[in-house]
Amino acid sequence: MARRYSADVYGAEKSEIIAFKQGFHGRTFFTVTVGGQEAYSDGFGPKPGDITHLPYNDVEALRQHVSSRTCAIMMEPLQGEGGIIEPSEEFIQAVREVCHQHNALLIFDEVQTGNGRTGHFYAYQGLGITPDILSTAKSLGGGFPIGAMLTTTKLAEHLKVGTHGSTYGGNPLACAVAEAVVDVVSQPETLAGVAEREALFRQGLAKINDKYPIFSEIRGKGLLLGAALNEQWQGRARDVLVAAGEQGLMVLVAGPNVVRFTPSLVISHQDIAQGLEKLEKAIASLVQ
């Protein structure tokens, strides 16, 4: 979308896409290349060109590299696979500013952060800026497979019939499911419940850490949280995952040093308490 628009409006030479190191944008050949983790993109042969990866949250590098050749900046409004990294206010404002200065489009990948996950329906709504293009999927279908790209009418006009599509795009059943999900998740009480549950998780994780101090910080937003392991526990996130599994608890990792928590947006208080109890037992088994 971004390259098509830029080619139509500014010419084919405006084709550079800037993305960020440790980012993750999917597993198709182009998106895995835009993602800033070579572990995912290596092994597929020659990669699509004109993609530059910069450090996340580095305002100076951003200002130095964005130019008139840049057609888009693509980013996660909170890095998930890269370690649950939030953007600084200065950085997120600078991204929007340089896009405006150089006529580049801002693309937010909200596949992980969207649909209520951070306590806003989309994470950008809590950041004070608006992207030009937004991708969403996963929880959009409540377990049913669907993905979508959101953009403005002005930009959409550059993808005319026949220029792009997918075999199963616009599936009526998937769209009906997604519409029902949006109706439920966008309710104020649902979104308020995310913040309430975040507080319970943070309190519980802090209590566990008081007893078994293996975390250096709890970071993230809403119900996309990461417990970063301290220096003595570096590289052992998967050990925590395995130990938790042995207790009947599923957690995730975000790299080797962060244990990731992404529970249901409507998880009960009882389930939160039970999950934290199992996590404490798992950590105790590793400490002893």
pTM for this predicted structure: 0.92
The structural domains of the chain, ordered by start, are: 1-186 (3.40.640.10), 188-287 (3.90.1150.10)
Residue whose structure tokens are 């377990």: 143
Of 3-17, 153-167, 183-197, the range with the lowest mean pLDDT is 153-167
Calpha distance 130→246 (Å, rounded): 43
Say what the pLDDT of residue 37 is: 75
Token representation of residue 251: 């957690």
Calpha distance 269→196 (Å, rounded): 10
Residues 6+ positions from 104 with CB-CB distance below 8 Å: 18, 66, 70, 71, 72, 73, 98
Q: Which DSSP symbol is given to 79?
A: B
Place 231 in a pLDDT band, splitting at 50, 70 and 90.
very high
Of 54, 51, 27, nearest to 41 by C-alpha is 27
Calpha distance 204→275 (Å, rounded): 10
Residue whose structure tokens are 């937010």: 108
For residue range 25-76, what is the model confidence (pLDDT) as tens digits? 888 877 888 887 777 777 877 878 899 999 999 999 999 999 999 999 999 9
For residue range 89-148, what is the model confidence (pLDDT) as tens digits? 999 999 999 999 999 999 999 999 999 999 999 999 999 999 999 999 999 999 999 999
Place 5 in a pLDDT band, splitting at 50, 70 and 90.
very high
